[in-house]
Amino acid sequence: MHPSQIEHYLTQLLPALGINKQRELVRLLYEIAKRDQLPPSEILPVQKNLTFERAKKILLQKRYPVNFKTARKDQFYLPKLELDPAQEADLTPRPFFPKTVYIETSVKDTPLAQRVRAAFPQAEFKETDGKTQVGSPYFSNRLDTLFIHREKYDFLKPCPCSCGSAGCGYNLINLGFGCRFECEYCFLQQYQNLHAVLLPANVDEFLAKIDGAKFRCGPFDRPRIGSGEFTDSLVFDDLTQYSAQLVPFFRARPHLQFEFKTKSVNIGGLLQAGGCENVVVSWSVNAAPITNLAEHFTPGLTARLQAACEVARAGYRLGFHFDPVVIYNGYQQDYARTVEEMAATLPHDKIAWISVGTLRFSRELKKAIETRFVHNTILDGEFLLDFDGKMRYSPAQRQEVYQFLVPLLRKTFPKAVVYLCMEDPQIAAQF
């Protein structure tokens, strides 16, 4: 349903509406029409003495059938609907082949720069002092530009988690920015303002910051450090070969744990580097409909689990992240099937941890998702403004997810640490 059709219908139904009131009703009608595949005339039929207040109440009840009675009015977020076709995601499958590669002068002779030159002979190469603005105006074109650079500041930091959430003591090294997958919920589409793939060539300088650094442990026996905040940890590993540097480094430091977080099956580098007990390779897993419909270009669950078995056989430990869990009709059966497939496939004693987190996003990310993926279904749930300013399912809906999934995972994988990610401390304490 195009927003202009909804606007037209509303203008006929309630001709005297001001801009703000019309904006709220257009948003509600649009979201209901998209979710229920109904025309606006069936959602809000012509009726006598209809006022804005009455229309809004009817639409809120239809849009939030579970939470309408219990949510506060200020938890409904009804911004102007601004869909921009120029921003839509390009879902045509294509290999990663940047058109332009920028290489910062200070790293032009590094092995990474040399590998990149050999891998993309048809790309245009440009040397830069690192201050040039690179990348496309559109996030969807980010794969056209690759930037090999020397990271100067952002080496090692505690995971920022979410304001007011129960933290898990995670620590981050940001080896890269940008990803070739297109997960509809990915925060990078709103967060990444430099629309290119950035890969640092000075991993040795990242690693030099680790010895002597103070780390938090959270609920784990050893500090955990990971690399997958602003990219997928392995999606470019055949090119970067970061695993060849990281695995031996952490093998020599058994008091630390390093985590590669991925959805890819790009495990050749890990297999070559040999196994390592304190390196955990973790996969994000989901219900099949979410993987198939909302994690574009990623390998399916079966392929991810096969890759997990291979790295476990090589001597790595495994992690899994049920994140983001999405609520829809029948979601419990689908997530239970994913747990079943994991139980039947994986070596249970190799699983170090499993996290669970429900879908959440900032207000800005909601707008990015709806304009980049106009046919998404992940936004059809009932999201309310929550304790940290993000949009989440209501506490009762989140608790329903955790009451179902956390005991199931603990029963199926009794040796793994199962914990909640970025959750309200009061809810996290119950699990």
Chain positions contacting ligand SF4, by CB under 6 A: 179, 181-183, 186, 188, 231-232, 263
Determine how β-strand 391-392 pairs with β-strand 360-361: antiparallel
CA distance 142 to 211: 34
- One-letter amino acid identity for 72? R
188 vs 273 by CB, closer to ligand SF4: 188
Closest distance between ligand SF4 and the C-beta of residue 233, in Å? 9
68 vs 181 by CB, closer to ligand SF4: 181
**3-class state of residue 275 by DSSP:** coil
186 vs 276 by CB, closer to ligand SF4: 186
Closest distance between ligand SF4 and the C-beta of residue 235, in Å? 7
Q: Name the token pair of 368.
A: 């990015």
Closest distance between ligand SF4 and the C-beta of residue 207, in Å? 22
188 vs 391 by CB, closer to ligand SF4: 188
Closest distance between ligand SF4 and the C-beta of residue 273, in Å? 22
- C-alpha angle 364/367/370, rounded to 5°? 150
Determine how β-strand 224-226 pairs with β-strand 197-200: unpaired
Based on DSSP, count helices (H) and strands (E) in the chain, helices before strands: 16, 17
Residues in the chain: 431
CA distance 102 to 136: 13
Report whether 56 contacts 10 (CB < 8 A): no
Report whether 95 contacts 411 (CB < 8 A): no
Closest distance between ligand SF4 and the C-beta of residue 320, in Å? 14
349-363 burial, b if ≥16 CB within 10 A, otherwise e? ebbbbbbbbbbbbbe
- For the beta carbon of residue 217, count every other beta carbon within 10 angstroms: 13
Closest distance between ligand SF4 and the C-beta of residue 232, in Å? 4
Burial class (CB in 10 A: 0-12, 13-18, 19+), 194: middle
Closest distance between ligand SF4 and the C-beta of residue 236, in Å? 11
Closest distance between ligand SF4 and the C-beta of residue 179, in Å? 3
CA distance 298 to 275: 24
- One-letter amino acid identity for 288? A
